[in-house]
A = this chain, B = another copy of it.
Amino acid sequence: MKPVHVGLIGCGTVGTGVARLLIEHGHMIEQRTGVPIVLKYVADLDKDRDRGLHFAPGVFVDDAWQIINDPQVDIVIEMIGGVTLAKELIASAIRKGKHVVTANKALLATQGNDLFRQAATAGVDLAFEASVGGCMPVIKSLRESLVGNQIQSMVGILNGTCNYILSKITEEGLPFATALSEAQVQGYAEADPTLDIEGLDAAHKLAILTALAYGMHINFEEIYIEGISAITPLDIQFAHDFGYCIKLLAISKNRGNAIEARVHPAMVPLDNILSNVSGSLNAITISGHAVQDLFLSGYGAGMMPTASAVISDIADIARNMRFGAPGRVPAMAYQPDQIRPIPVMPVTDIVTHYYIRFAVQDRPGVLAAIAGILGDNDISIKSVQQKGRKSNGHVPIVMLTHHAREADVRKALTEIGRLDTVGPAPVLIRIEDDIQED
């Protein structure tokens, strides 16, 4: 069988994992695919780092363009991250008729529509299983396994850093800043954790999944994003008392003529399987009209789990090459000419349950005033509790609402904020509670 030649650009953590699997397990991969896969090049600027791998002479290069320009290279693996250079390399590879594998969600979420169009025109595969959920086959499931399903919703834990931090706060009662520092020490958070903790990374992934699920263009800019830095041990404790834990969720729902797409901390019922996903794991529940709920969980980051997903893409492309079948499965799940524009709803239009914590003065009439304003805004209260102790002259009051429209909730909170008896900045956490409809 004619071998497939692969060039790897970027040999950091995941790139090293990919090289290792190709070098150490190439025989097994060939036993399965029937195609020998040759790692012809590994390009990285850092020559001296010990990767625990022995490359044959000529394999390790410092110039990525050597890979792009070698006509023998069939598949380019982009593992450098970032947007500008990565896009340039991928677009050049596509123009030269090479297939591409990437795990670069930031790139695909922002430039994917353009790149997928170029790949389709050139008749090459652009594969990206590792961009969402690491080793979880969520892209393959949406594109292939669920092909007979109208996707109704996806609810995922797609950022291991946030999940690790929230688990730490939950299990050890640490304040956010301490939990973040621990995550950094343990290698679960970057030195600059902004992309993760502010929810952008999860939103990049949600943008990709949402487009795949509903047959629409990638629409990252329309996703509502809220990070986890305001989550306190107090709210996690109160959530627990009500039967919930708090997770950073990526949520996408098919509302017929529009899509809900949002990333924010949310309360998850303790008896929902997502509440069992702790530490740096990822997970997703995909609901389709035929399957009902399909649940996947696995490591969403890390050297070998992510490399495993990259290898599955390389193998898919190698199989396509063997049979002359590039484009056999369209990159974005739907045939390129079938992708439609579907609007993303503004977050103010969503309807869900809310947890609201007010700091109020401990005197008669306060609750009546708050409840009155909520009622005037069509928000009905499911449960109210005065929780915990007085601090700074205020006591916490926690309310759970029935289904309410986000615009109404925001308007009510603004009005309530004007009351003299209510402290500043109530805490608002959405509840993801489809199991317990009321």
Contact = CB atoms under 8 A, between A and B. Distances in A.
A136 B294 contact: yes
A31 interface: yes
A292 interface: yes
Interface string A302-333: 00110111011001100110111100111001
Nearest to A149: B308
Interface string A91-131: 00000000000000000000000000000000000000100
Given A291-B305, A324-B323, A316 B21 contact: no
Contacts of A175: none
A140 B147 contact: no
Interface of A: 17, 21, 25, 28-29, 31-34, 129, 135-137, 140-141, 143-150, 215, 273, 276-277, 283, 288-299, 304-305, 307-309, 311-312, 315-316, 319-320, 322-325, 328-330, 333-335, 338
Most buried by B among A25, A31, A140, A333: A31
A290 B147 contact: no
Contact of A319 (B31, B277, B328): B328
27 contacts: A21-B148, A25-B148, A25-B150, A28-B150, A29-B148, A33-B147, A34-B335, A135-B145, A135-B290, A135-B291, A137-B137, A137-B141, A137-B294, A140-B140, A144-B312, A146-B308, A147-B311, A148-B307, A288-B308, A290-B307, A291-B299, A291-B304, A296-B296, A319-B325, A319-B329, A320-B325, A325-B328
A307 B147 CA distance: 11
Nearest to A20: B290
Contacts of A145: 129, 135, 137, 140, 308-309, 312
Contacts of A308: 145-146, 148-149, 288, 290-291
Contacts of A296: 294-296
Given A129-B145, A144-B140, A215-B31, A21 B309 contact: no
Contacts of A297: 273, 294-295
Contacts of A288: 308
A21 B288 CA distance: 12
Main secondary structure of the interface of A (DSSP, over half): mixed
B305 A290 contact: yes
Given A308-B149, A323-B325, A315 B144 contact: yes
A297 B354 CA distance: 28
Copies in the assembly, this chain: 2
A296 B316 CA distance: 21
A162 to B, nearest CB: 19
A150 to B, nearest CB: 7
A32 B325 contact: no
Nearest to A316: B144
Contact of A298 (B31, B148, B292, B323): B292
Given A148-B307, A148-B312, A292-B299, A334 B31 contact: yes
Contacts of A150: 25, 28
A312 B135 contact: no
A396 to B, nearest CB: 31
Contact of A34 (B148, B295, B330): B330
Contacts of A31: 215, 334-335, 338
Given A34-B335, A135-B291, A137-B140, 15 more contacts: A21-B148, A25-B150, A33-B335, A129-B145, A137-B144, A137-B294, A144-B312, A147-B315, A148-B308, A148-B312, A290-B311, A291-B305, A292-B305, A319-B329, A325-B328
Contacts of A29: 147-148
Nearest to A338: B31
Contacts of A328: 319-320, 322-323, 325, 328
A380 to B, nearest CB: 31
Contacts of A141: 137
Contacts of A289: 304
A136 B295 CA distance: 8
3 closest Cβ contacts across the A-B interface? A148-B311, A323-B325, A137-B145
